[in-house]
Structure 1
Amino acid sequence: MIFTYSRCNLDRRQRTLQRFFEILPGATSWGILLGFILLSLWEPLVAAALIIAFDLYWILRLFYMNIFLALSYARLSWERKTDWLKRIDDTRDIDRSLRRPQAASSGNKLPEIISEVINRRELAELKNSGQTVPSYDDIYQLVIMPVVRESRDIVEPGIKSLSEGAFPSRRILVVLAVEERSSPEIRDAAQRLAAEYRGRFLEFLVTLHPDGIAGEARVKGANATFAAKVAVGFFTEKNIPFENVIVSCFDADTIVNPDYFNCLTYSYIVTPNRTQASYQPIPVYHNNIWEAPAFARVLDIGSSFFQLIEATNPEQLVTFSSHSMSFQALVDVGYWPVDMISDDSAIFWKSYIHYDGRYRVIPLATTLSMDITQAKTWRKTLVNVYKQKRRWAWGVENFPILMRAFLGSPTIPLRQKLRHSFKLFEGHISWATWPFLLTFIGWLPTLFAGREFSHTVLYYTGPRITTTIFSLASIGLLNCIILSLLLLPKNPAKNTFWTKMGQALEWLSVPFIMIFLSGMPALDAQTRLALAKRLEFWVTEKERKKAADK
């Protein structure tokens, strides 16, 4: 279908629909919160019953998420030892690879057996699709890294990781996409990096995105789109087919592990209809994790956990932060939106609509690392973390555009429309309301209870039921603590027993984080959208301690 993925230049009917769906998330979130408060005042018995029902639903959801978190973490751990080049070599002769004896007959351990079972299933699906299998030697990588005010010490580690990986760097085109409004120091640093590292790659380009292009906002997607159009000219001149190019749009602080591009390339090769898919790794925030305050560390570990859980449900997975896709698809859909803040999720929805629902996200069993938001002071870090999470929550801006597209599309199956609409809407509503319901509003029926309610059985049993539910929730929290300790990189400082205890006790800050650094930013974003107070793109401040300061 022909649909412009934008809120701008709409006719009267589309503007009306756009505003209705912009108001709906914020109105729903505020309606739930205020409704529970008023109900606690006027009908505490009903409010208490609803709160208990919600708590039961929440604990079941928590156990469900913990199960899949553990499974996803296990898969990630198993695949760390995978020889991706060998897997890629298996795609050269699929019949031979499928005839090879299974790992179980060689006495391998269970994780290796499961990994090979998954590999065989992927090879069988590729064979049954009847599609051409591209050669590893014909695959190129395009890495676009938008830069606004990130200094060289932030950008260079990522560039270095690209050059030192297992994938041949001579088949990687790096584009450092610098904004024209960046300071002369940032622009000069980009040129010096290009001069120093150019010989290690296929090419190292520095683009300068002009300010004030008509129809563009000051957002990362506009900068990345300008850089991608430059890359189109490069690959066209080199006669390299776009379908053989995988484009990755990375934040400037992104560091890839040595096997990242081989894992990505394998997934690209074995995926049927590979150009109609995005490829999502698990983002971790390890670059400066031991320098950041505890609350910021716990919050971003939680973000990684959320992506681990989402990876277990590929049918509803949406791209987040640094990810990859076919360059052919990027060109076909018209690049990233140039007037939206949430470009990482918007490019998925834009592609999904362009291909009439025949577009998906493939989870990658690998990680890439970024920075935790950090400033020079604890207080400034707190403010920056709030702003970053509000920007993430601004992904709700996709909801009204997506709903307009769904209403106007006769080709996307109704079941898919309902499934994606509900997940996107419910996800944002939960984000904005659950923290308040769990930590504050859930106790109001007891506090506001009148004489009539205070003599009911529910008055006495309600708090006890809620306390029991939260006691059960501690099991889920314990699981998160254990997995966080396993996921964290080694602390350069002495990792004593008391250090590990301190890391575990950091999770006691979860109630504070839920309210002030999760629920409030989400509610803030939805309220701004409902009131048509557009959020400006805010570049996350990046700070790393110098070696002498450590």
Structure 2
Amino acid sequence: MRILLVFFIGFLSFFYLAEILRRLSKNIRYSFLGVIFIFAGFLTGFFGQSYLSAGLNVLTAFFLIGSGLGLVVHHLLSQRFIFFEKLEKEFVLKHENAFERILEILPGLTTWIALTSPIWLSFTLPYAVAYLILIADVYWLLTALRIGVLIILGYRKMNWAKNQDWQQRLKTDFQNDWSKYDHLILIPTFKEPLSVLSATFNAVYNSKYPKDKIFLAVGFEERDNRQKIENTRAYLKKIERKIAGVFTTIHPFNLQGEVAGQGSNKNWMIKNAVSELGRRGVKSENVFVTTLDADFVIHPHFLAGSLYKYLSLPKAQRDKRTFTGVFLYHNNYWQTPTPMRLMATGTSFWQLAEMAGSDKYMNYSSMSINLKALLDIGGWIPDKVNDDSGFYWKAYYHFNGDYKVIPHFLPISADAVQDTTLLKTFQNQYFQIKRWAYGVEHIPFIVKQYFQKEIDFWDKTDKLLFKLWGDLKWGFLAIFVTFGSLFIPLVNPNFKESVLSVNLPIVSSWILTAAFFGLFATIFVHEKTVPKRPRNWGIFRIIWSYIQWLLIPIILITISSLPAIDAQTSLMFGKKMEFRVTTKTRLLKET
């Protein structure tokens, strides 16, 4: 453990020292100094025993290697080359496809190295593995407590937002501005039945915002059921006369350069909407676009509240921001099996906590943005499965780092995963999480833009590390803290004789038990926000709905971690994922 500690002290201290050197002069090639340090570290490790006391040569060697790597890595990230700029740039361009493939392999490879580390590392460094597990346990505890606090804070912000009359506040605070804006609602759909879509359409129509300033765009897929498309169009005819307009499109299948999915469909919808709005004399800079999934039922004040948030920002900022609400999976909440309910609640409240406490919250499922800004960005990446996180990075680099997602905390009610059979429900949940986790497909684009764009070094590095760490911990952390300590004595029997071997499971269990205190915040907000339990439920079903939280550890390991590992491994082996729609099924309403 001391070796790893000394290595990271050397790496971090010289990484920050390199920043001082860079600010003093951009012409200093401190990467050469880094290589000297690394070389000196290896010499000290192999030949330093005669000059330094036992063990000290190893610690010194790792400190020097860490220091050297800190200098080299900082030079690479900040200067975008290591030694010779022109030669290295030509080499990268010549082997661009190979570098992109390496970056696709990186997330899965890193996750598998981390997952298997309790096995291969325990042969030689069992104590290091034990301390790493304890560090992971403490990280888990602090994260759980942080999320618990932020869930409460986010809940209070959501409650406050729901109780505001945002339309009246628009008239009061932006009386000369708000009426210039029309809302354009984008709803891509594939396979969702009219019974699901109608609730989404009705929520838009019933919004507390002038009906003559709401445009609704519905995008079908060519592969969809023709009868469903015709029935939906007939239903929209009833709404069309009551709002500013309804646009429908059918997105062709298998267009060149596209993956069939929401991103490419939304691009097709926007292209048509711009044409339709132009014919009506509506300027793109006066249109506020909101994207919704087919099952999203918005709060009555959602449109007015999102526009208020937009107008409340300075003009220089507002068009470089997207705006989002809180996601609650309540449309069919008590109809779904317990694991799906817990997964829906976990996803919802994690998003809520990130909105309340992070400046790196990324686009997820729904967003609002000025139409002109959306066109300037170039819409969504058409050839990727995960369109939401892809849009975040595309916008971030388009605006040279001056881009954020701003929450307005008005809720959207969505469907939790529910299919016609229990097996299909579990399959759908697994594939939905896998699709979300497949956001790792954007890493080659993110890294490429990182080295090409002139953006504040610390800001883009912070966001890149946030992305990489988020993907890594999604796949391995829950499994690592749960099972990691079991492998050490199996691999290295000598570890059983140590005091640490006895204390590790005890201390670890104490820490993880304490982490459950963070769950109380989730339970509290859950009971405040979920629909009432059906009146026809029996006493045992009601009791189970209160103690369902005991399944959380199993859910984290199975439904959450395994799909993420699967997604990263698929990309690692070059198995491209296709966009798979999560089936939307609602049972007859329970009473």
Q: What is the CA–CA distance in structure 1 between the aligned matches of 2:460 and 2:127, rounded to whole Å?
A: 37
Q: What is the CA–CA distance in structure 2 between the aligned matches of 1:179 and 1:92, rounded to whole Å?
A: 39
CA deviation digits over 1:170-190, x for unaligned, max 9? 211111100111111221122
Q: CA deviation at 1:12?
A: 4.1
CA deviation digits over 1:397-423, x for unaligned, max 9? 1222111011111x2111111011011
Kindly name which structure, 1 or 2, has the bigger radius of gyration based on alpha carbons.
2
Q: What is the CA–CA distance in structure 1 between the aligned matches of 2:523 and 2:488, rounded to whole Å?
A: 32
Residue 394 of structure 1, aligned match among 427, 438, 462: 438
Residue 252 of structure 1, aligned match among 288, 294, 301: 294
Q: Does 1:434 align with 2:477?
A: yes
Q: CA deviation at 1:448?
A: 4.7
Report the equivalent of 1:89.
171
1:163-312 equivalent positions in 2, closer than 5 A:
163-272=205-314, 273-312=317-356
SS of the residue corresponding to residue 325 of structure 1 reads strand
CA deviation digits over 1:452-502, x for unaligned, max 9? 322221111111101111221121122222221122122342589866542
SS of the residue corresponding to residue 359 of structure 2 reads helix
Q: What is the CA–CA distance in structure 2 between the aligned matches of 1:356 and 1:343, rounded to whole Å?
A: 20
Report the equivalent of 1:148.
190
Q: What is the CA–CA distance in structure 1 between the aligned matches of 2:187 and 2:452, rounded to whole Å?
A: 35
CA deviation digits over 1:278-302, x for unaligned, max 9? 1011111111101111100110110
SS of the residue corresponding to residue 319 of structure 2 reads helix
Q: What is the CA–CA distance in structure 2 between the aligned matches of 1:453 and 1:515, rounded to whole Å?
A: 26
Q: What is the CA–CA distance in structure 2 between the aligned matches of 1:269 and 1:497, rounded to whole Å?
A: 50
Residue 500 of structure 2, aligned match among 458, 467, 476: 458
Q: What is the CA–CA distance in structure 1 between the aligned matches of 2:399 and 2:136, rounded to whole Å?
A: 38
SS of the residue corresponding to residue 253 of structure 2 reads coil
Q: What is the CA–CA distance in structure 1 between the aligned matches of 2:301 and 2:538, rounded to whole Å?
A: 31
Report the equivalent of 1:27.
109
**One-letter code of the match for 2:101?**
R
Q: Does the CA-based 8 Å contact 1:14-1:404 persist in structure 2?
A: no
**One-letter code of the match for 1:285?**
Y
Q: Does the CA-based 8 Å contact 2:150-2:353 persist in structure 1?
A: yes
Report the equivalent of 1:320.
364
Report the equivalent of 1:370.
414
Q: CA deviation at 1:51?
A: 1.0
Going from structure 1 to structure 2, the CA distance change for 1:212 and 1:545 (only over 3 Å counts) comes to: same
Please, what TM-score do these two structures have when normalized by structure 2? 0.81
**One-letter code of the match for 1:290?**
W
Q: What is the CA–CA distance in structure 2 between the aligned matches of 1:173 and 1:14, rounded to whole Å?
A: 43
CA deviation digits over 1:88-115, x for unaligned, max 9? 234237xxxxxxxxxxxxxxxxxxxxxx
SS of the residue corresponding to residue 479 of structure 2 reads helix
**One-letter code of the match for 1:375?**
D
Going from structure 1 to structure 2, the CA distance change for 1:438 and 1:500 (only over 3 Å counts) comes to: farther
Q: Does the CA-based 8 Å contact 1:194-1:206 persist in structure 2?
A: no
Residue 52 of structure 1, aligned match among 134, 152, 155: 134
Report the equivalent of 1:522.
564
Q: Does the CA-based 8 Å contact 2:485-2:504 persist in structure 1?
A: no
**One-letter code of the match for 1:223?**
N
Report the equivalent of 1:39.
121
**One-letter code of the match for 1:224?**
K
Q: Does the CA-based 8 Å contact 1:278-1:348 persist in structure 2?
A: no
Q: What is the CA–CA distance in structure 2 between the aligned matches of 1:141 and 1:492, rounded to whole Å?
A: 36
SS of the residue corresponding to residue 335 of structure 2 reads coil
Going from structure 1 to structure 2, the CA distance change for 1:213 and 1:376 (only over 3 Å counts) comes to: same
Report the equivalent of 1:102.
none
Q: What is the CA–CA distance in structure 1 between the aligned matches of 2:423 and 2:274, rounded to whole Å?
A: 44
Q: Does the CA-based 8 Å contact 1:221-1:336 persist in structure 2?
A: yes
Report the equivalent of 1:416.
459
Asked which structure has the greater RCO (Cα within 8 Å, sep 6+), the reply is: 1
**One-letter code of the match for 1:312?**
A
Q: Does the CA-based 8 Å contact 2:144-2:516 persist in structure 1?
A: no
**One-letter code of the match for 1:31?**
I
SS of the residue corresponding to residue 144 of structure 1 reads strand
Q: What is the CA–CA distance in structure 2 between the aligned matches of 1:474 and 1:518, rounded to whole Å?
A: 18
**One-letter code of the match for 2:149?**
I
Q: Which moved more, 1:480-489 or 1:497-506?
A: 497-506
Going from structure 1 to structure 2, the CA distance change for 1:498 and 1:42 (only over 3 Å counts) comes to: same
Q: CA deviation at 1:78?
A: 2.4
Q: Could you tell me which runs of 5 or more consecutive residues in structure 2 were left unpaired when the two chains were aligned.
A: 1-91
Q: What is the CA–CA distance in structure 1 between the aligned matches of 2:513 and 2:358, rounded to whole Å?
A: 32
SS of the residue corresponding to residue 311 of structure 1 reads helix
Q: What is the CA–CA distance in structure 2 between the aligned matches of 1:339 and 1:194, rounded to whole Å?
A: 30
Q: What is the CA–CA distance in structure 2 between the aligned matches of 1:18 and 1:448, rounded to whole Å?
A: 36
Q: Could you tell me which runs of 5 or more consecutive residues in structure 1 were left unpaired when the two chains were aligned.
A: 1-9, 94-133
Report the equivalent of 1:346.
390
SS of the residue corresponding to residue 440 of structure 1 reads helix
Q: Does the CA-based 8 Å contact 1:194-1:205 persist in structure 2?
A: no
Q: What is the CA–CA distance in structure 1 between the aligned matches of 2:502 and 2:193, rounded to whole Å?
A: 59
Q: CA deviation at 1:140?
A: 0.9
CA deviation digits over 1:484-526, x for unaligned, max 9? 1122122342589866542231111112211111111111111
Q: Does the CA-based 8 Å contact 2:292-2:366 persist in structure 1?
A: yes
**One-letter code of the match for 2:517?**
I
SS of the residue corresponding to residue 145 of structure 1 reads strand
CA deviation digits over 1:362-402, x for unaligned, max 9? 11121101111111111111111000000000111122211
Q: CA deviation at 1:61?
A: 2.0
Aligned length: 498
**One-letter code of the match for 2:223?**
R
CA RMSD across the alignment: 1.9
Q: Which moved more, 1:22-31 or 1:65-74?
A: 65-74
Q: Does the CA-based 8 Å contact 1:165-1:259 persist in structure 2?
A: yes
Q: Does 1:538 align with 2:589?
A: no
Q: What is the CA–CA distance in structure 1 between the aligned matches of 2:173 and 2:156, rounded to whole Å?
A: 25
Going from structure 1 to structure 2, the CA distance change for 1:445 and 1:191 (only over 3 Å counts) comes to: same
**One-letter code of the match for 1:435?**
A
**One-letter code of the match for 1:50?**
L
Residue 384 of structure 1, aligned match among 416, 425, 428: 428
Please, what TM-score do these two structures have when normalized by structure 1? 0.87
Residue 533 of structure 2, aligned match among 491, 503, 508: 491
Q: Which moved more, 1:460-469 or 1:37-46?
A: 37-46
Going from structure 1 to structure 2, the CA distance change for 1:182 and 1:432 (only over 3 Å counts) comes to: same
